[in-house]
DNA sequence: AGCACGCCGACT
DNA sequence: GTCGGCGTGCTC
């Protein structure tokens, strides 16, 4: 007699589903997408039902589902299908994939309609007498609360082994207090949207997408330089989507960079808007998720993870700055939110917009092969494009990292009362500290990498593992002095510029100077308020910010990336060039970009002078085609690491043999050591898989990883598979 | 992942 | 003698 079997995805790193019998005390079967608690080994776990099937009498005796948590699916059929596709495409354990679509508060068995959270916070510091009366359990609880300044749910406290009684006694003495659960994200009532005045080019873009959207699925690259008004195009399309009673999903690279965008959507679209990103407290995240799921939110704005938000009435997806690397998750479940968004739109039969001034080469290739439509917004809505000057550094006398040409131009712009941005993507003072006597350089003890000297902290820091040490006065190798600083970082630029421009108000904006909470916002406001003249920035300052008074951008070192091992370095360089150049000359001021290089004849540098990105991209695509690199071939990287070299090498060798046998058509390379082989004392190796077709790659990957799980050598290493890797490192 | 089982070293 | 190190295997 065939048994009814329930296949459940559980949050364990196993590429399989687990079969259970229906719950004993119920005659209704839990449908796919509902959460169930099941016995698992010695414990029990909450998972999601994937499917129900009739099975021949199973080989082993199955256990039964313990509890069904949802009377109707928490995740609808369409989303379940997308998650299933993603698990297969990225060859990742299905249970871990599904976790990404559930807010943390729903990953346990808690019901959507459950009582609200009871959040607790530590109260202000007590006097010493009170502190003396604190018992050890109380101290532990207080310490735990201290780590959760925004408050933490009572149930979570209990789950971490704290007693409610301890909490109550602390409450009686005023050491802790209840914090009201955050109100559900208010969904503002519909207001009459502001009419948006569109330029003819913008209107044409809107009509193109709208006309195509009527036919269902389509991918539209909205390609326009910074300042060409892509946002207005998105807004109008979002507005129309909402007016038609459907939902729009707007993905952005980083929520911190887009307060203005959120504000404009809020004012420009008369509909409930929710924001979803990983920094949201669990309660707020749940509330936002819930209003997307029940349809009360017309617009969801969010980062990478928001691509998994339930949208019962999805009508449009927008991926802003689609080339941005932050759409690719870099650990664990290594999905690309941009690619998932395209798949999701295809499944739902709706249009998806990819917006960028500097599209990924993959996207441009899809346009050129006719898979994606392109809508160009060629003109800047206001202002004119910056003039580009290439400065040949060969043989030139330098002031630190600066040529006279760049310094003179800076002097002129500063005298005219304009702002100047000096761009260098390297923080710290100097990337290498070298002995003048023997040539030895200071390297990290745990990584195969030189240490960067940081002047402010007076420390040598490793940019790979984060460790640091105080530099000695003499060489560790030969004992001689002095040690020389080789190369320039942003701190050193600042030093040079303070000498050159003693009167200028100089602001350095990099990860070090913005570490303090709110520091970036403060600096950003200082810049827009005109309280700084000379800005020194890493890529932090290159992205999407609007500085109306900025007239000159100096690219200090264009040469890094021209000859990198990473074949994508050129693409990144081109994107960065154009993004950072876009900071110059908006609104009132005509801008100039000065590029310092030792390779003025390099095709990438030459292409900067024209329609910068279009030409550079064409050069790069031709290189990729000639070398049979992505997007002309399809890649995956299997990485492994351990403290003992032979282990990753052994595992990858076995993995290679397995794949050679199962899929002889694929081209394999490796195992190779990663470019920085040793990182935090772990030795990292990799195996590159290359396929002539998407299909060939994909058919092989999921079965391969299932076989890898069974290898004994796999248990001895940390390993991961990266499909469509963005860095082969 | 998390947990149990099992087989070897240094400690109350 | 046993506590505990982590290598190994398994979870329906």
Q: What are the pLDDT digits (tens) for A430-477?
A: 999 999 888 889 889 888 899 999 998 899 999 988 888 898 888 888
Q: Mean pLDDT of all residues in chain A?
A: 87
Q: Where is pLDDT greater, at A174 or A411? A: A411
Q: How long is the CA A575 to C1' C4 vector, in angstroms?
A: 54
Query: Considering only residues 4-33 of protein chain A, which place a Cβ less than 7 A from any atom of strand C?
Result: 12, 14, 16-20
Does the nearest atom of strand C lie within 7 Å of A376's Cβ? no
Q: How long is the CA A140 to C1' B12 vector, in angstroms?
A: 29
Instruction: Tell me if A421 sits within 8 A of A554, measured CB to CB.
Output: yes
Per-residue pLDDT reduced to its tens digit, A646-705: 899 999 999 999 999 999 999 999 799 998 899 888 899 999 999 999 999 999 999 999
Does the nearest atom of strand B lie within 7 Å of A16's Cβ? no
CB atoms within 10 A of CB A543: 17
- Distance, CA of A154 to CA of A120 (rounded, Å): 7
User: Tell me, what DSSP letter sits at residue A279?
Assistant: T
**Tokens 């119920």 found at:** A26
Per-residue pLDDT reduced to its tens digit, A529-564: 889 999 999 988 877 677 888 889 999 998 887 888
Q: For chain A, how big is the Rg over CA atoms in Å?
A: 28
Q: How long is the CA A715 to C1' C4 vector, in angstroms?
A: 21
**Residue A364 pLDDT:** 97
Q: Average pLDDT in the A133-145 region?
A: 78
CB atoms within 10 A of CB A501: 17
Q: How long is the CA A49 to C1' B5 vector, in angstroms?
A: 31
Q: Average pLDDT in the A481-485 region?
A: 87
**Residue A185 pLDDT:** 40
Q: How long is the CA A11 to C1' C2 vector, in angstroms?
A: 36
* Residue among A184, A183, A180 at smallest CA distance from A292: A184
Of all nucleotides in the shown strands, which has a C1' nearest the CA of A12? B1
On the question of pLDDT at A159 being above 60, the answer is no
On the question of pLDDT at A322 being above 50, the answer is yes
Q: Where is pLDDT greater, at A499 or A157? A: A499
- Distance, CA of A31 to CA of A72 (rounded, Å): 7
Q: Nearest residue (Cα to C1') for B4?
A: A42
Helix (H), strand (E) at residue A311: none
- Distance, CA of A158 to CA of A361 (rounded, Å): 50
Helix (H), strand (E) at residue A366: helix A361-368
- Distance, CA of A509 to CA of A594 (rounded, Å): 19
Q: How long is the CA A521 to C1' C1 vector, in angstroms?
A: 65
Q: Average pLDDT in the A80-108 region?
A: 96
- Distance, CA of A352 to CA of A366 (rounded, Å): 14
Regarding beta strands A506-509 and A152-153, do their DSSP bridges make them parallel or antiparallel, or are they unpaired? unpaired
The backbone torsions φ and ψ at residue A498, rounded to the nearest 5 degrees and listed phi first, read: -70, -30
On the question of pLDDT at A115 being above 60, the answer is no
**Residue A131 pLDDT:** 67
List chain C nucleotides near protein: any atom < 7 Å from a Cβ: 7-12
Per-residue pLDDT reduced to its tens digit, A181-196: 544 443 444 444 455 6
The backbone torsions φ and ψ at residue A594, rounded to the nearest 5 degrees and listed phi first, read: -110, 125
**Residue A186 pLDDT:** 39
Pick the range with the lowest mean pLDDT from A88-102, A147-161, A602-616. A147-161
User: Tell me, what DSSP letter sits at residue A384?
Assistant: -
Local confidence band at A583 (pLDDT 50, 70, 90 cut-offs): confident
Whether omega for the bond prior to residue A569 falls within 30 degrees of 0, making it cis, is no
- Distance, CA of A425 to CA of A76 (rounded, Å): 44
Q: Where is pLDDT greater, at A606 or A277? A: A277
Q: What is the dihedral of CA A496, A497, A498, A500, to 10 degrees?
A: 90
**Residue A579 pLDDT:** 83
Q: How long is the CA A41 to C1' C1 vector, in angstroms?
A: 33
User: Tell me, what DSSP letter sits at residue A225?
Assistant: -
Of all nucleotides in the shown strands, which has a C1' nearest the CA of A40? C11
Q: Average pLDDT in the A351-366 region?
A: 96
């Amino acid at each position: 007699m065939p048994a009814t079997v329930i296949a459940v995805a559980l949050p364990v790193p196993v590429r399989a589903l687990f079969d259970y019998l229906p719950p004993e005390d119920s005659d209704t079967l839990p449908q796919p997408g509902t959460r169930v608690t099941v016995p698992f080994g010695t414990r029990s776990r909450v998972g999601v039902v994937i499917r129900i099937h009739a099975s021949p009498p199973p080989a082993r005796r199955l256990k039964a589902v313990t509890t069904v948590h949802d009377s109707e699916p928490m995740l609808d059929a369409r989303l379940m299908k997308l998650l299933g596709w993603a698990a297969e495409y990225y060859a990742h354990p299905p249970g871990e994939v599904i976790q990404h679509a559930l807010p943390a508060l729903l990953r346990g068995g808690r019901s959507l309609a459950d009582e609200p959270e009871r959040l607790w916070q530590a109260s202000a510091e007590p006097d010493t007498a009170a502190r003396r009366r604190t018992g050890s359990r109380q101290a532990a609880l207080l310490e735990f609360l201290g780590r959760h300044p925004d408050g933490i749910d009572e149930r979570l406290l209990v789950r971490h082994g704290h007693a409610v009684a301890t909490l109550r006694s602390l409450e009686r003495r005023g050491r802790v207090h209840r914090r009201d659960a955050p109100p559900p994200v208010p969904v503002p009532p519909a207001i009459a949207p502001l009419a948006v005045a569109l330029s003819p080019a913008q209107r044409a873009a809107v009509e193109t997408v709208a006309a195509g959207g009527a036919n269902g699925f389509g991918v539209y690259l909205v390609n326009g330089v910074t300042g060409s008004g892509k946002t207005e195009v998105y807004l109008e399309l979002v507005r129309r989507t909402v007016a038609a009673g459907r939902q729009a999903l707007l993905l952005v690279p980083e929520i911190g960079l887009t307060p203005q965008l959120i504000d404009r959507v809020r004012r420009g679209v008369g509909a409930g808007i929710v924001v979803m990103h990983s920094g949201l407290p669990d309660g707020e995240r749940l509330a936002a998720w819930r209003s997307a799921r029940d349809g009360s939110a017309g617009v969801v704005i969010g980062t990478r993870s928001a691509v998994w938000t339930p949208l019962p009435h999805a009508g449009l997806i927008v991926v802003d700055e689609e080339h941005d690397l932050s759409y690719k998750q870099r650990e664990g479940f290594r999905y690309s939110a941009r690619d998932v968004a395209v798949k999701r739109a295809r499944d739902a039969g709706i249009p998806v917009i990819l917006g960028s001034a500097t599209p990924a080469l993959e996207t441009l290739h899809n346009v050129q092969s006719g898979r994606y439509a392109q809508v160009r917004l060629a003109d800047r809505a206001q202002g004119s494009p910056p003039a580009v000057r290439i400065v040949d550094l060969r043989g030139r006398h330098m002031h630190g990292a600066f040529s006279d040409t760049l310094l003179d131009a800076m002097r002129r712009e500063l005298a005219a009362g304009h702002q100047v941005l000096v761009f260098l993507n390297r923080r710290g003072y100097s990337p290498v500290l070298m002995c003048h006597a023997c040539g030895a350089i200071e390297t990290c003890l745990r990584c195969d990498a030189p240490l960067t000297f940081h002047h402010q902290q007076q420390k040598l820091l490793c940019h790979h593992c984060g460790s640091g040490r105080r530099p000695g006065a003499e060489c560790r190798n030969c004992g001689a002095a002095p040690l020389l600083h080789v190369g320039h970082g942003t701190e050193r630029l600042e030093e040079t510029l303070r000498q050159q421009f003693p009167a200028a108000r100089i602001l350095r904006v990099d990860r070090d100077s913005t570490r303090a909470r709110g520091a970036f916002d403060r600096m950003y406001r200082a810049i827009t308020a005109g309280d700084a003249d000379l800005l020194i920035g890493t890529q932090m300052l290159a992205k999407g910010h609007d500085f109306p008074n900025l007239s000159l951008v100096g690219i200090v070192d264009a040469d890094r990336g021209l000859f990198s091992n990473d074949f994508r370095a050129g693409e990144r360089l081109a994107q960065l060039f154009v993004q950072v150049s876009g900071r110059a000359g908006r609104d009132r001021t005509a801008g100039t970009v000065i590029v310092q290089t030792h390779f003025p004849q390099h095709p990438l540098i030459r292409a900067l002078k024209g329609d910068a990105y279009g030409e550079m991209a064409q050069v790069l695509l031709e290189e990729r085609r000639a070398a049979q690199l992505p997007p002309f071939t399809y890649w995956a990287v299997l990485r492994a690491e351990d403290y003992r070299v032979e282990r990753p090498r052994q595992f990858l060798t076995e993995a290679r043999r397995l794949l050679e046998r199962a899929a002889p058509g694929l081209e394999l390379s490796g195992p190779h050591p990663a470019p920085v082989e040793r990182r935090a004392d772990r030795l990292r190796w990799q195996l590159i898989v290359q396929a002539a077709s998407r299909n060939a790659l994909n058919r092989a990957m999921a079965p391969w990883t299932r076989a890898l799980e069974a290898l004994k050598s796999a248990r001895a290493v940390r390993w991961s598979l990266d499909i469509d890797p963005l860095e082969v490192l």
